[in-house]
Structure 1
Amino acid sequence: MASLCSACKTSPPKAEEKPAEKTAFQTGAYWIPEIDVRSDIAIVYGANDHEDMSFANRVASWRERGYQTQFMTGMAWGDYKDFYLGEWDGKNHSDIAQVEKDGTEIMHGEGSPYVVPDSTFIAYVKSAIVKKVIDAGISTIYLEEPEFWARAGYSEHFKKAWEKYYGFPWRPQDASVENTYLSNKLKYHMFYQAINEVSTYAKEYGKSKGMDVKVFIPTHSLINYSCWEIVSPEASLASLPGIDGYIAQVWTGTSRTPNYFNGQKAERVFENAFLEYGCMISMTEPTNRKVFLLTDPIEDGVRDWADYKRNYEATFTAKIIYPMVNNYEVMPWPERIYTRPYKLTNSDSAVLIPRFYSTQMQVMVNALNQLPVSENKVDGSHGIGVLMANSLMFQKFPVHNDYEDPLFSNFFGQVMPLVKRGVPVQIVHLENLGYEQSLKDIKILTLSYSNMKPLDKKYHEQLAQWVKDGGTLVYCGTDSDPYQKVQEWWNTGSNHYATPSLHLFELLGIQPNGKTSEFSVGKGEVVVLKTDPKEFVMDKGGDREYIQTISKLYADAYSQPISFKNHFYLQRGMFDIVSVMTESTNDQAFTIDGPVIDLFDPELPVLDHKSVAPGSQAFLVNLERVADKQKPQVLAAAARVTDEEISSDSYSFIVKSPLNTTNSMRILLPKKPANVKLTDAKGEEIQSEDFSWDSTSKTCYLKFENNPDGIKVDLQW
């Protein structure tokens, strides 16, 4: 490790003014040159003092290098030994862990349990963490991953919370469907309440210090939590006044979770990531919250560098194919990425990140700083939505009455047949139906209560009105899962509906019978398919009727046939983004005419065309769409470019990126440079490893070693 920087001797700084906050990374480390990523924001993780550096000095080490500093801490786990062992309030809280039926405590790591967020823990987060970081001048706080495992719910703390919330003694969740539902609903409520209290405190305490504190929730998608059997407040948090937005925690580890399609169980990383990001964006767009989209060049699982690279390209492409968002967490834990060895393909040897991969990764990361919001849409037939709800997390564990939903197939059955045919299906959250934006561009909406339930009757009132105003609803399900009978609003008080869908059908004025029923309702239409959506994907060819139904409704709604294809393609500023899928309409490659610069190739070649094979992706600079072609400019680089100066016969700039990495860059110039000079921060000239000129594109290629202190590039012609 490098020696401590001079900033580590300074006192805690005052709150800083915030410039643009487009890119970020999170780190538990203090600044060292090997991890100087050069994003806008360094999110410092954890408020504890480390053995070799205090929290305040960790923050200062990043501020000294020009970063905006923000803060992140876990809401369900963390390095909170002062709380667990009684140093904070003199009482031992080591029994705070979430507990399974057999008494096993669920741990995030040694000495770090997943907690039951009771009032004492909430008080600790407020006073020992949030107050400390606000006092250190930090005004943006991330409360990460409020997670309660579905298999938990047997600790004394949870039993007390149950009795307080429900007013009757705790019941073991494995004993009945009703108990499972009540248990998960309480888990959901406990973290909702914890986030509400902590975010409200952060806002109020910040205001008392003259600071405008922002609070964000880094969280996995509702899709992933449902797959992994975790309960979290998810979409409901977007309506809390204390929440300013989210980080969408989507990466290879979440997106490689297998699912079924056409009767085959497999990993489908791009398709999953596309849906996960869409799920997170649909939580924030209607509520005007900000969302950062995250991906990770590696993952928690120990694989090899080739696996990391392949799946990083897939998840990265899924992220940038959403043109309405241009805020990104470019990576978590750069110390893990740059300084920890991982194995090579077909070898037991462990090595640090290969230079070709770190160069490619840094080209991709720095391109995010250039990536604009765009009004363009990914190609395909838009206007089809699939409904989700937080209650998807309530029905996953354990299995009751032999009704199973393998690998979350009742959800994937509604979306994967469309995504695999190149239809950019949109996720819609039941909790957000009250916002006009939620259904603004949707004409066809699918719904199933096979694996979720409506937690409020107002959702049905909103859906019924939408249909009467001209929308088309497709309801899929047999309503035979055991959770249809839990005590909820549709079967209590004055309501006596055997299933929640019957309440919706009554509002719509329809009485479905037979396997398929079609109804005109007001200006809209309703189709009921009495099939659980899991059958669309678990059986080979099982989606035939579903696809035929959607195709017919689309043609009726838009007076044109639905478009089926094997790819997604987007033009976004000067960038071309494409993913070509397997298991799709055909096995043809997708070709983009050039000249283009291939940003997934660390040598940044200029190609006259790019052919993208099924199962792969591409991220390209299209030279035909570069703005102001007469202006000298860096089109792609494995380093961040600053301090640009342009004259009639020269162009200079400074580039910074982590130590022990290689910069590769392609630069647009009016003519071939006669002189290229590279100078380090000490004023000493260094040599490039490679230089070439491409006369067709009028670009030069440069390659040299990076330095976080900066390399000045002078080009003269």
Structure 2
Amino acid sequence: MVTKERNEEKTGFQESGPYRATYDLQTDFVMVYGIDQSMPQRIRDWKEKGYIVHLMTGVSWGDYQTYLNGKFDGQLHWDEGQRNKDNNDISHGKDVPYMVPSISFSKFLVERVKVAIDEGVEAVHLEEPEFWVEGGYSEAFKREWRIYFKEPWTAPHESEDAQYRASKLKAYLYTRTLDRLCGELKEYGLSKYNRFLRFYVPTHSLINYTQWQIISPESKLIDLPAIDGYIAQIWTGTSRTPNVYEGVRKERTFETAFLEYGMMQELVSGTDRRMWFLHDPIEDNPRHTWSDYKENYFKTVVASLLHQGISDYEVSPWPRRIFEGKHPSEDGVSLEGIPSDYATTLLTVMHTLGNMKQDDIQIHGNSENIGILVADSMMYQRKLIDSSSEAIPHYDGTGNAMNATHQELLDFSPFYGLALPLLKRGLWVRPVQLDNVRRFSNYLNQYRALILSYEFLKPEYPDIHNALAQWVKEGGVLIYIGDDSDPYHNVREWWNTGNRKYHSPRDHLFENLGISPETEQGIYKVGAGVLGFLSLSPDKCAKSKENGDLLRAMVSKSIECSSKDILLEEKNHFMIKRGPYTIAAVMDESINDRPLEIKGAYVNLFDPKLRVVDEMTLKVNENVLLYDLTFNPSNKGVRLIAASSRVEELKQINNGFEMTAKGPEKLFAVARLTCPEEPSAIEMVIGNDILPIEFEWDQKSKTIFLKYFHRSGQETKISVMW
């Protein structure tokens, strides 16, 4: 039997380099990166190796000197680079500015991507539509301001209103560009080749872009019909960004990744669009050790697998830098290549990810979702306006904050102050896209309790409050946290213009709920539902345990006052079963430090030897991915449990089984399979060579462990006889 077809496109990776056997990961598809002159040949090379080939290129930055230097249309375009208030370029590298996405720039990208379409790519990924908060000063942006607002340009740093308006324009410009690119290129593929091309946008989460002070279209992409889906660009580099909980600033990779992946799952919720979750076994910051990369990689993988709505994955960006790169040794004295055991485990996890589409989903304990409302407008108010306002070098996860003010912004405490006090108690906190309330009818119906604050985001349209109020009146529990102290309440927007003016959008929301804006904090019945109001700036909930306790108490008491049968079960861990896979994580800083004991018969998929275990004891900050050997007990035959190869064929014969595998060379591969009888003979054949193979038989579980290798361009064939 063939275990998995490539056309399912469950797993893929991106690579800018040519094909090499050392990083031939044998996923379903590869995203050839970049539109330089070598792109056509790279597409052909990967196709010859059996991959479905996509193209990926940056939509806001890249090696676009041909365009910048006037070789595309005879005009210089360096004035289209993003610039800060000091008139310095905001760059991704030498002579690689982030772009202000003009109409002419979109024309350039169209022409270059057409070359890839001519080579037969099946999909195109236009990644990272990014406009930095510190940008907005180049001549191209000033022109776009005049066209969009029909008024002279205003420097974004001069007021909250100017900053907010500049940010809205930045989001619009990349929305416009993606709409033009995807629409025009889809038409090109159909008219010239009668081929329906798919277009995807690899993008960071709304949480991370807000935290790093970047503007991007985010939920506005939902409104573009030519976009078919996304890649959630979440990895250790985004998720290890420090945040503050109970006054302590530190990395919280698992918790941050959990929220980020949840945010991206929300981007496709209720749509027919596809989402791949990204993992990266290392990251852009080259200064960490391999053990550090491994620990944080496991945290992001487990965090992503807890979101059962997604089962497709980009298993790696840049595998060349993983399997051929060098990083600091544990003693910090030298650089070393990837440890053999870590490489083997990576490949095992990568191939396991292709099997995560499971019908049988079981969540351990109570899984009531508590939604935290977020919005694209979080990105629009990410600069403090004061007399000392200065341009700050952009933060991309590879450096440190520049000063105390920048660090305070980078903490993004207004959001984490609402999320972490609940997430750290094992509650299933979900970011919920406020903007979608007006996009989809009944959007909020899957939630029974929501938390909202307008101290770090704003509702872009007043009718959002109609839907929120109706949801509460029909029985929902809304907890509002805020003290109206945010200076961005004063930007020129719908709540303070026209005949009826409100001090803040909260006033308009409360009016729709039938509650006076002057109401003191407390808990109020609203129809069949409840409003809980805590007059406290949400960032304070991150800065002390006392304020975190106030938030938890308000959530708990508001729910108790509702007519809904909502049970909140506090614990220090998360655990879920997806078919045969058990995924679990235990957190620190939680309700207790009690270990989580998992008993049964399992294979540990984070173990390079795929050991069989009867129980796992997870301590604080530990996580695990297990295969449950008792799943589907009626299947008594040969069954693949896990392998660090692509298993092309697995066939049971009268007195044994045969397996055909492919994978990168120079790396040891492992596999564990169920086996009805103890093997009497095992043989490995690569090409014309019969080679020895390591194996272990486990009588109790009736499984066999194999250790073998691959050669470039050849299949590894293994025969097991009993």
TM-score norm. by structure 1 comes to 0.94
Deviates more, 1:573-582 or 1:164-173: 164-173
1:330 pairs with 303, 315, 320, which one?
315
Instruction: Choose between structure 1 and 2 for higher RCO, CA contacts under 8 A separated by at least 6 residues.
Output: 2
User: Quick check: 1:104 aligned with 2:88?
Assistant: yes
Question: Which residue of the other structure, out of 644, 652, 656, is the alignment partner of 2:650?
Answer: 644
Change (3 A) 1:560 1:499: closer
Find out whether 1:420 has 2:424 as its counterpart: yes
Q: How does 1:111-190 map to 2 (within 5 A)?
A: 111-127=95-111, 129-190=112-173
Q: Which residue of 2 aligns with 1:483?
A: 488
Are residues 1:40 and 2:25 paired? Answer: no
SS in 1 for 2:501: coil
d(CA) in 1 for partners of 2:613, 2:155 = 63
Instruction: Choose from 502, 505, 511 the match for 1:500.
Output: 505
Q: Deviations over 1:225-248 (max 9, x none)?
A: 011000000011022101111100
1:381 matches 2:367: yes
Question: 1:392 aligns to what?
Answer: 378
Conserved in 1, the CA contact under 8 Å of 2:198 and 2:228? yes
Gaps of 5+ in 1: 1-16
Displacement of 1:126: 1.4
Correspondence for 1:14: none
Matched residues in 2 for 1:158 and 1:525: separation? Answer: 45
Instruction: Provide Cα deviations, 1:361-419, integer angstroms capped at 9, x if missing partner.
Output: 11111111222234525433313111000000011123459997561111111111111
Aligned partners of 2:462, 2:270: CA distance in 1, in Å?
Answer: 20
1:370 equivalenced with 2:358 (yes/no): no
3-state SS of 2:109 partner = helix
The partner residue of 1:617 within 623, 644, 650 is 623
Whether 1:702 and 2:706 are equivalent positions in the alignment is: yes
Aligned to 1:225: 209
Displacement of 1:557 in angstroms is: 4.9
CA distance in 1, matches of 2:695, 2:410: 54
1:633 paired to 2:633:
no
Which amino acid is the alignment partner of residue 34 of structure 1? T
* Matching residue's letter, 1:43: M
Residues 145/585 of structure 1: CA separation in 2 closer, same or farther (3 Å cut): same
Does residue 239 of structure 2 align to residue 255 of structure 1? Answer: yes
Aligned twin of 1:12: none
Aligned-partner Cα distance in 2 for 1:200–1:531: 46
Q: 1:26 and 2:14 equivalent?
A: yes
Number of the residue aligned with 1:559 = 565
In the aligned structure 2, how far is the partner of 1:503 from the partner of 1:656? 61
Structure 1 residues 629 and 373 mapped into 2: Cα distance closer, same or farther (>3 Å)?
closer
CA contact (8 A) 2:417 2:538 kept: yes
Instruction: Specify the alignment match of 2:324 in structure 1.
Output: 339
Single out whichever of 507-516 and 299-308 deviates more from structure 2. 507-516
Shift of 1:338: 0.9
Shift of 1:317: 0.5
Give deviations 1:429-460, integer Å, cap 9, x for gaps. Answer: 01211324632320011110001111111211
1:560–1:180 Cα change, 3 Å: closer
Structure 1 residues 466 and 583: alpha-carbon distance in aligned structure 2, compared to 1, 3 A threshold: same
Q: Which residue of 1 aligns with 2:181?
A: 198
Equivalent residue for 1:604, pick from 610, 613, 619: 610
Q: 1:526 aligns with which of 500, 524, 531?
A: 531
**Retained in 2: the 8 A contact 1:323–1:375?**
no
Does the aligned pair in 1 maintain the 2:475–2:563 contact within 8 Å? no
Alpha-carbon separation, structure 2, partners of 1:177 and 1:668: 63
CA shift in 2, pair 1:557/1:538, >3 Å: farther
Match of 1:451 in 2: 456
| Matching residue of 1:215 | 199
Over the aligned positions, Cα root-mean-square deviation in angstroms equals 1.7
What is the SS of the residue equivalent to 2:696?
Answer: strand
| SS of the residue 1:446 aligns to | strand
1:13 is matched with which residue?
Answer: none
Deviations 1:24-43 (A, max 9, x none): 10111221100100110111
Letter aligned with residue 537 of structure 2: D
Alpha-carbon distance in structure 1 between the residues aligned to 2:190 and 2:519: 60
SS of residue matched to 1:117: coil
SS in 1 for 2:640: strand
> Residues 686 and 305 from structure 1, CA distance in 2 versus in 1: closer, same or farther, beyond 3 angstroms?
same
Aligned length: 694
Relative to the length of structure 2, the TM-score reads 0.94
Instruction: Indicate the SS of the match to 1:369.
Output: helix
Residue 663 of structure 1 aligns with an amino acid whose one-letter code is A
Query: Aligned partners of 2:307 and 2:428: how far apart in 1?
Result: 10
Q: Using the alignment, how far apart are the partners of 1:526 and 1:560 within structure 2?
A: 15
Distance 2:305 2:230 in 1: 17
Report the Cα offset of residue 504 of structure 1.
Answer: 1.1
- Measure how far apart 1:628 and its partner are: 4.3
Cα distance in 2 for partners of 1:503, 1:581 equals 39
- Deviations along 1:127-164, whole A, 9 cap, x unmatched? 2x222222222231111000000011111111111111
The 2-side partners of 1:262 and 1:357 are apart by 34
Q: Which residue of the partner structure matches residue 688 of structure 2?
A: 683
CA distance in 1, matches of 2:690, 2:149: 72
Instruction: Assess if the C-alpha contact under 8 Å between 2:159 and 2:385 holds in 1.
Output: no
User: Which position in structure 2 is the counterpart of 1:271?
Assistant: 255
| Paired residues of 1:477 and 1:533 also in contact (CA < 8 A) | yes
Cα distance in 1 for residues equivalent to 2:155 and 2:349: 49
What's the secondary structure of 2:630's corresponding residue? helix
Residue in structure 1 matched with residue 411 of structure 2 by the alignment: 407
Assess if the C-alpha contact under 8 Å between 1:428 and 1:438 holds in 2: no
1:460 aligns with 2:444: no
Pick aligned residue for 2:677 from 671, 676, 691? 671
**Structure 2 counterpart of 1:91, one-letter code:** Q
With over 3 angstroms needed to count, the CA separation of the structure-2 counterparts of 1:558 and 1:461, relative to structure 1, is closer
Aligned residue runs from structure 1 range 1-80, under 5 A:
19-50=7-38, 55-80=39-64
The residue matched to 1:95 in structure 2 has which SS? helix
Distance 1:702 1:249, change over 3 A: same
Whole-angstrom CA distance in 2 between matches of 1:474 and 1:198: 41
Preserved CA contact (<8 Å) 1:515 1:531: no
Paired AA for residue 31 in structure 1: Y
Letter in structure 2 aligned against 1:151: E
SS at match of 2:697: strand
Asked whether the 8 Å contact 2:6–2:51 carries over to 1, the reply is no
Partner SS, residue 625 of structure 1 = coil
In 1, distance between residues paired with 2:106 and 2:676?
Answer: 60
Question: Which letter maps to 1:305?
Answer: W
Match of 1:5 in 2: none
Q: CA deviation at 1:560?
A: 5.7
Displacement, 1:515?
A: 4.7
Q: Aligned-pair distance for 1:623?
A: 0.7
3-state SS of 2:620 partner? coil
Residue equivalent to 1:660: 666
Decide whether the 8 Å contact of 2:529 with 2:563 is kept in 1.
no
Provide the residue aligned with 1:238 in structure 2.
222
Matched residue of 1:703: which SS?
A: strand
**1:289-300 to 2 correspondences below 5 Å:** 289-300=273-284
CA separation in 2, counterparts of 1:119 and 1:323?
39
| Residues in 2 aligned to 1:457 and 1:112: alpha-carbon distance in whole angstroms | 40
